[in-house]
Amino acid sequence: MSSKPTIALFFRVAGNEYQNLVREDCRTAALRNGLILHEHDAQNDAAKQVQQIQDCLRAPPPSRPQAILVCPVEEAALHGSAREAARLGTAWVSLQRECAYLAELRREFVRTALFSVHPDQGQIGRIQAEQLRVLLPRGGEVAYIRGPLRTTSANLRAESLRSALSGSAIHITSLSGEWSVEGGRQATKSWLALAGRPKPEQCAIAAQNDSMAYGAHLAIVEAALGSHEVGLSKIPILGCDGVPNFGHRFVVDGILTATVVIPCPARLAVDTLAAVLAGAHPPSTNICLAVSSFPELASLTNG
């Protein structure tokens, strides 16, 4: 059996561009640090993810990983698994999402590395709100395509965006897109059906990730072709994640109007775990990553 430490990555779903980036960065960092990485795909199923982690924790000690990294499908569903990992002395890292229960577990299991590496969710909402203010200086209608209601990241982004737009003449219609391209496409089709014939200069679409934003783009293209209203293609579409070969490229190519760039948490998480496994003290419970607008707000126009 190999003497190299083993870590396990439990990601949300294969095929999502941001999740693919997380996996690739985990692989690169694990290789660089001399760690063995095992990967598990939850297929966007919270119960399946819990079962995968439980199976991992119930393995005999020689084959049990020293650390678990998880991109949660639903954070609350993982509380019990995180506690079990801590009891076994297995490090636990939540990627992309802040989990309130980790601070509680950290006080109880002081010697175990239990932490999250996540973007500033509130800042994501504030940046998208500023992007909308620039694009709709006189106000207008916004289709806001968000992630599932039971995910803290979706809720924090939505709360922050609404707070930042308070007092403005921008009206928000929230729709669920389930983080997927198809979800974004269907949500946009529903909004277009409700909106009738929206005026491009008075509306915009903002999605909580680039996959849903791309789905919105597909729906707009379909609607424009079906109605022969070419003006629909001028509706601004905002995304979030900014993966270089996906959302970032779509902005450069003019498919999306803007995105919010989120640094991938995987490398920092794996590097931190490697240091802990080598004897370093566990890090703080929350490691928050700064995010940024692309393009910069100063260069974003509605023209």
- Model confidence at 198, pLDDT cuts 50, 70, 90, reads confident
Whether residues 76 and 132 share a domain: the answer is no
Q: Flag whether 19 is in a domain.
A: yes
Cα-based angle 188, 131, 72 (whole degrees, multiple of 5): 65
- Residue 163's domain comprises 121-261
Kindly report the average pLDDT of the chain as a whole number: 94
Residue partners of 105: CB distance under 8 A and separation at least 6: 82, 83, 86, 92, 114
Dump pLDDT digits (tens) for 287-296: 999 999 999 9
Q: What angle do CA 294, 299, 303 make, to 5 degrees?
A: 105
What is the per-residue pLDDT across 58-100, written as a single tens digit (0 to 9) for each? 999 989 999 999 999 999 999 999 999 999 999 999 999 999 8
97 shares its domain with 213: no
Flag whether 191 is in a domain.
Answer: yes
Does residue 162 lie within any of the structural domains?
yes
Per-residue burial over 267-293, b = 16 or more CB atoms within 10 Å of its CB, e = otherwise: bbbbebbbebbeeeebbebebbeebeb
62 and 135: one domain? no
Q: Are residues 59 and 114 in the same domain?
A: yes
Q: Identify the pLDDT of residue 2.
A: 57
Task: Convert the pLDDT of each residue in 144-178 to its tens digit.
Answer: 999 999 889 999 999 999 999 999 999 999 999 99
143 and 69 belong to one structural domain: no
- Mean per-residue pLDDT, 217-227: 91
Q: Would you say residue 48 lies in a domain? A: yes
Mark whether 108 and 28 lie in a shared domain: yes
Q: Are residues 134 and 83 in the same domain?
A: no
139 and 234 assigned to the same domain: yes
Residues 253 and 125 in one domain: yes
Residue 303 lies in a domain: no
* pLDDT attached to residue 303: 47
Same domain, 269 and 253: no
- Does 273 reside within a domain? yes
pLDDT at 226: 77
Q: What was the pLDDT predicted at 302?
A: 47
- The number of domains in the chain is 2
* CATH value at residue 211: 3.40.50.2300
Distance CA 103, CA 99 (A): 8
CA–CA separation, 235 and 294 (whole Å)? 18
**Same-domain pairing of 52 and 106:** yes
pLDDT at res. 73: 94
For residue 67, being part of any structural domain is answered with: yes
